Chain A
């Protein structure tokens, strides 16, 4: 049982990080980014490309800054060329736009890297290594991913609470009009939020690079999970996204272990439905507000 719980928390940490990114974007801009999983795929492929320049057996985590910077730049470009056009312009334009962006990213990845599965050639110690804690065995790569995700969660909380831009993002998410009337440059806030959301997804990609094979569509399964975590936690609520990600990881692990892998998606959705029936705005969401 302990092994099952810890397995769930470890993968839940990665889900939480992807969910935080999508939540940040929704919280500030009130749009759901259907390409969030593909941003994770971009992070994976940036890692793959940059890692090929490093000595064999190096830790991919050294690429945190360059991958983060590349994803930030990509996020700024995506926002400026596409997303900016649809903010506040209608209820559903962003859906088609971000779905279209998802397809474009997948196809560009395939054009550049090809459709074949690839892997980041990390050391065997990292790829297959395990930490033994009593009766529990933990994958080294997953533990590192979880710790890093937790560190980013702490960073996000600090960022939103203690920095000017973070406070501006929170103000904009509460009420854009009032925020603008108070002198907050919402154009800066939007691009920052979107780029940061992109960075979180890309960093998630880097963190899972020792664990997953790369393929153009690898991000799709994470998009769905991230959205589920976001809704479960409450739209626009960062803390909720974190908790939502962990809960989904736990549900997935426990269902797979005791009932069957085929039932895990059903179980996740059942939990989501149950929570929404009891709390229609998610665990930490509130009607008409987003924090």
Chain B
């Protein structure tokens, strides 16, 4: 930019909130950083905040979905992606739409909540319970678990199956999801699945489940073919390059991370400076109306001046079709058609 090369340094957060701050502190203490991108894991993003405040370097957090990240009083955090406060209403609105398509009342469906007991999972589950109660829906199963702690999900799924659950709302990471879906297949138990994002939207799910992944749905802050992305030529060029190089689609964490990089890039361009405080101030000014990239994310993009939360971001529902996720709901952001998960064909009109 301006004749100067952009250096991107990748730091390993170790995927452990307890030690994630060490590489960040070590890096920022050396100085010379204009901005940070990440972390898409809310637990880790939370631990980063004091370090960012200390060294006055802004971060754009990628896909971190727990609103608490922008509620800690840190003035250097920007949370662009939809949070669980948007995830849950979208999931339940989608459920109402699904119920209508199969000729049922959504209040007759029995819901089962299954979540990883970390910042993201508990945030999702708390919001779900609140929303389910407000809408008068039936929550018949509510199971939390320590992520990556069980080696067999069959007892858990047996319990959920015995509760008569029609719709499972899982918020889980890859290995747990594998065990959950394998157990469901073993028990020949196929409720509607409306996942809470994360591993539900990753390419590894298809590599792992094969064609059995088709029909599964999930909410997320991102789907590679959402309207805002498809309508942005520059974005689709990067998307094509990514797919060619990596032989897979830009997944649920990847999209918001790239989006965060482009916002930071745009802020540096606007600031005409690499001073992190100046870049932070430019990030605050970005909106859907003045930014080349903000429209890629669903909703009316605008960072709150105090918290850094993108208050206008909205979640999207994707459905796995032909081994790839397709955005299917809500219609204002989606480009694909929702198929009946049982038949993988359009719903019959009722």
Contacts and interface: CB of A to CB of B under 8 A. Distances in A.
Interface size on B, as a range, is 20 to 34
Given A128-B185, A213-B208, A215-B175, A7 B145 contact: no
A130 B188 contact: yes
B188 A261 contact: no
B149 A256 contact: no
B180 to A, nearest CB: 11
A119 B15 contact: no
A146 B154 CA distance: 15
Interface in B204-231: 204, 207-212
Contacts of A191: none
A7 B158 CA distance: 10
A124 B211 CA distance: 9
Contact of B149 (A127, A137, A265): A265
Contacts of B144: 260-262
Contacts of B182: 127-128, 139, 211
B174 A257 contact: no
Given A137-B188, A212-B178, A262-B146, A11 B151 contact: yes
Contacts of A218: 175
A245 to B, nearest CB: 12
A128 B204 CA distance: 16
Contacts of A121: 207
Interface string B158-197: 1100000000000000110011001101111000000000
Nearest to A8: B155
B148 A4 contact: no
Contacts of B145: 261-262
B137 interface: no
A221 B185 contact: no
Given A139-B186, A213-B208, A117 B174 contact: yes
Nearest to B151: A11
B164 to A, nearest CB: 15
B156 interface: yes
A3 B151 contact: no
Interface string A1-16: 0011001101100110
A128 B210 CA distance: 10
Interface string A77-114: 00000000000000000000000000000000000000
A115 interface: yes
Given A11-B151, A221-B151, A116 B204 contact: yes
B242 interface: no
Interface in A201-229: 211-213, 215, 217-218, 221-222, 225
Contact of B175 (A14, A15, A139, A212): A212
A11 B150 CA distance: 10
A49 B212 CA distance: 25
Contacts of A260: 143-144
Contact of A137 (B155, B179, B187, B207): B187
A139 B185 CA distance: 9
Interface in B129-159: 143-146, 148-152, 154-156, 158-159
Given A119-B207, A124-B210, A142 B175 contact: no
Contact of A115 (B15, B158, B188, B204): B15
Contacts of B204: 116-117, 119, 213
A221 B212 contact: no
B127 interface: no
A256 B211 CA distance: 29
A159 interface: no
A134 to B, nearest CB: 14
Contacts of A253: 152, 154-155
A252 interface: yes
Contact of B156 (A15, A215, A256): A256
A222 B150 CA distance: 10
Nearest to A130: B186
B15 A256 contact: no
Contacts of B207: 119, 121
B191 to A, nearest CB: 16
A7 B151 CA distance: 11
Contacts of B149: 221, 261, 265
A170 to B, nearest CB: 31
Given A119-B207, A213-B178, A265-B149, A139 B154 contact: yes
Contact of A256 (B155, B187, B209): B155
Contact of B154 (A7, A15, A117, A217): A7
B117 interface: yes
B155 A254 contact: yes
30 contacts: A4-B155, A4-B158, A115-B12, A116-B204, A117-B204, A124-B211, A127-B182, A128-B186, A128-B209, A130-B188, A138-B186, A139-B154, A139-B182, A139-B183, A211-B178, A213-B174, A213-B178, A217-B148, A221-B151, A225-B151, A252-B150, A252-B152, A253-B154, A253-B155, A254-B155, A257-B158, A257-B159, A261-B143, A261-B149, A265-B146
